[in-house]
Amino acid sequence: MARRRERGIHNLSRAVAALRGTGVSESRRRLLKVLGSAIGLSSVAIPTWGHRPTGLVSTALAAQPRPFTTDGKEGLTLLSDRPVNAETPVALLDDALTSNARHFIRNNGLVPERARNQDTQGWSLVVDGEVERSLELTLGQLKSRYPNRREALVLECAGNGRAGFHPSASGNQWTLGAVGCALYTGVRLKDVLVDAGVKSSAVYLAYYGEDLHLSGDPDTVVISRGVSIEKALDQQTLLAWEMNGEPLPAQHGFPLRLVVPGWPASASGKWLRRLWVRDRVHDGPKMTGASYRVPKHPVLPGTEVPEGDMVIIEAMPVKSVITHPASGVSHTVGAPLVLRGHAWCGDGPVEGMHLSRDFGATWTPALLAEPRNPFAWQRWEASVSFPTPGHYEVWARATDHRSRMQPMVVPGWNPRGYLNNAMHRIAVNVT
């Protein structure tokens, strides 16, 4: 029996592009045939299709992978199992705070035995390097020696949205669910560093964890990244031991992790054992080459970018998601459809949120809440009505405090597929 050939969304994009130059009615008939073969839309009208950007493929083509349950996670989608990497379907991120069960997982190595056993015996955190006095702190000393804080903070993988890049970029093919906003309890990293006496020569803070390399070699470092000393001293950068009122789960860094909000989640090291204050930019594993770096200037998709032309990712771009309803919802013509979601930005608040039901021809403002605290995501809500039956898309666009907006399409290409903050869009079938 002949093997069925699978077609990705970019194959369909090229098929749609091939329709250019044909008559309107013929183009539409052929388009619906393409769509119908994939998702059964052959008899559905698209009332606002004339407003859509040339070559845009309907979001209804973006099928959701099958969910799974593992290690206390409910309904996440597994991207790899060694190491474990799993994302959350966007519709499961509707709560104001992301529960431990629904928070995405991004690992580079294997979860250490201490974390699996929830055992702190013999554990301590070393703080050394460009400091006046090195520290070695137990978890009890951290809790009693410094003021405790509780903050709702967004963590987002720099590769969230990588699946949208074309040509494909290397790495886990995240869609939109490698993000979460949990409530973390801990102490300010600043308080610990001030206690150690940060020297004027300090430039960067590097972390080392207990995660095990995939080879099983205990002497091989899995990942050792870090942040500038200025970001390390930020009021919201935490050393956290609780997540949503519970000890950190094994997959999320027990007994202690960094939480560096606004920067890529890879800077928020897990299973901590050492913080090394350095007099230069850190050069540990996943800090050099193309890792968590993007080109200094726009490049042609597929370009091999020299290392000297790459810069380290710092603040994440403005972004938003629609968490309700899920894409593909059916709705009645004329009745308002309530939509809601979250918006966030890596270096300040979001100040505007808008929705479009006609491919960006017109925009409706959404009600945008203030963040619970700096670097928490912001809840938004709006209602949209549809004038005629048919197939629609709703687009969501956030605008940050510097008037920067989400782009309609995937932003500039980079070798590892980082920082895709293209507008989220959902399909709505109106009857």
- Judge whether residue 301 has pLDDT over 70: yes
Residues 282-305 have a mean pLDDT of: 95
Cβ proximity of 324 and 384 under 8 Å: no
Q: Which of 234, 235, 208 is nearest to 222 (CA)?
A: 208
In DSSP notation, 255-313 reads: T-EEE-TTS-GGGS--SEEEEEEESS---STTSSTTTTEEESS---TT----GGGEEE-
Q: How does DSSP classify residue 91?
A: G
Tokens of 8: 């990705």
Q: From CA 428, how far away is CA 355, in angstroms rounded?
A: 13
- Judge whether residue 66 has pLDDT over 80: no
Tens digit of pLDDT for each residue in 410-430?
999 999 999 999 999 999 999
Residues 201-227 have a mean pLDDT of: 97
Cβ proximity of 175 and 417 under 8 Å: no
Q: What is the structure's pLDDT at 156? A: 98
Q: Model confidence at 260, in pLDDT bands (50, 70, 90)?
A: very high
Q: What is the structure's pLDDT at 49? A: 52
Q: Which domains does the chain have, with CATH numbers?
A: 9-61 (no CATH), 69-312 (3.90.420.10), 319-430 (2.60.40.650)
Q: Angle at which helices 24-39 and 9-17 pack, to 10 degrees? A: 170
Q: From CA 239, how far away is CA 270, in angstroms rounded?
A: 10
Tens digit of pLDDT for each residue in 228-240?
999 999 999 999 9
Tens digit of pLDDT for each residue in 345-395?
999 999 999 999 999 999 999 999 999 999 999 999 999 999 999 999 999
Tens digit of pLDDT for each residue in 308-341?
999 999 999 999 999 999 999 999 999 999 999 9
